[in-house]
Amino acid sequence: MRITIFGSGYVGLVTGTCLAEVGNSVMCVDVNAAKIAQLQQGKTPIYEPGLEELLNKNLAAGRLQFTTDMQLAVDFGEIQCIAVGTPPDEDGSADLQYVISVAQTIGQYATEYKLIMDKSTVPVGTAEKVRQAVQAELNARGVSCEFDVVSNPEFLKEGAAIDDFMRPDRIIVGTDNARPSELMRELYAPFNRNHDKLIVMDIHSAELTKYAANAMLATKISFMNEMAALAERVGADIEQVRIGIGSDPRIGFDFIYPGCGYGGSCFPKDVQALERTANQVGLQARILQAVEAVNYQQRHLLFDKIYQHFRQDIRGKCFAMWGLAFKPNTDDMREAPSRVILEALWAQGARVQVYDPQAMAEATRLYGKRDDLILCDTPEAAVKNADALIIVTEWRLFCSPDFPYLKSQLKQPLIFDGRNLYEPRKLQKLGFTYYAIGRGERLPA
């Protein structure tokens, strides 16, 4: 099949590369000429395990190409996939300007049947707006051209996106007639062989499914973080509680890890956007409001622990920070808890020595060169002469450090662990003062 992907960001790039990998001819189009030039050279602008290798393989095979030529892109594919960003607007609702711009572009150049596939995360009713935008452009040209619009939300986890696309849990297709259903079934046939994972529903339900899925996962995280706050106050260990409740198959172990808050490009904006959608139809989404409020508080919790430990005076202090990305196996720092903590430390006159296996370049892009941000080549270099160690991202590299070495390098044996990587009693025996999330009282050395 011939497929055009509008948008060469995270979703568009993974989608295009994986569709090419199973034999399709794919053209990815983007307005960012520098990004397209980089991709044409086989270099990915994001870090995602396995993506660059797969991209180069399909570039070399001629199944994958990149362009900035919009007319060429519209002409190329029978299937036109919209995978552009939907950033939060000022009121938290999804900004659809890029989605509508793509729809207008398709309408400006289409000369034969097109199946337009909304893969961007969009509010209920967006497919109809896309349909209207395409039709308005066709009418302006005086052209009669058949097209269909379907909702096909993505469910990719950063750090595991290739596997998620190649072995999906489910494939959601929202449509109002049979023709696009058959085309979508053909498109996804290579990923649907073991058993039928394709679920066809109406368009509004498909659009809501994506938001509901992310909101549910965010709710689990915020619930556990609230339980962690309770555990601290009653002297319980949230890690033992997590194992106890996760053993119930109705609950399971996924997304019940307490920590210093969720971040990334999806959960924060999707919870906000879903809450705004509810408000627009006269519904007060109280659970979503609570999820958002708990996460806001959680992203500030680690700094609050630091500030209180040092009696509200950290001017001139130097902190080591392990982890910048919002989660492991990505370089994405969008809405990352690390940014909240960094900026709070700087506001109080502290310096930070940081290490992350993938997100160092992203930190430089975001913050530039500054005297109070020291980028280190190794985790060990980051702790040298620091007043305390702060753990923000649960990279495996951080799971089993040389604790005697840490103790020898830190000015004082002090750890603030935002991901509960270590056993408090072990750290206490080793002479550390250890703050974690919901592990009962903090354990002094």
Pair 318, 352: CB distance under 8 Å:
yes
Pair 38, 113: CB distance under 8 Å:
no
Amino acid making up residue 20: A
The residues, any chain, with a CB within 8 Å of residue 412's CB and separated by 6 or more, are 387, 388, 433
> Any idea what the Cα angle at residue 23 is, between residues 117 and 195, rounded to 5°?
70
Q: Is 108 exposed, middle or buried (0-12, 13-18, 19+ CB in 10 A)?
A: middle
Strands (E), 56-159: 64-67, 79-82, 114-118, 147-151
Integer Cα distance of 286 and 292 in angstroms: 10
260 a catalytic residue: no
Beta bridge partners of 150: 117
3-class DSSP state of 67: strand
Integer Cα distance of 166 and 139 in angstroms: 39
Residue 112: how many other CB atoms lie within 10 Å: 9
Rounded alpha-carbon distances, angstroms, from residue 144 to 72, 135, 140: 20, 9, 10
Q: Of residues 18, 28, 266, 376, which has the active-site annotation?
A: 266
Amino acid making up residue 216: M
Residue 144: how many other CB atoms lie within 10 Å: 7
Pair 80, 27: CB distance under 8 Å:
no
Integer Cα distance of 175 and 96 in angstroms: 20
Q: Name the one residue in this structure whose structure tokens are 């489910």.
A: 170
Encoded tokens for 331: 């370089």
The strand pair at 318-322 and 351-355 is best described as parallel
Encoded tokens for 115: 């199946």
> Any idea what the Cα angle at residue 353 is, between residues 347 and 354, rounded to 5°?
100
The residues that are catalytic are 266
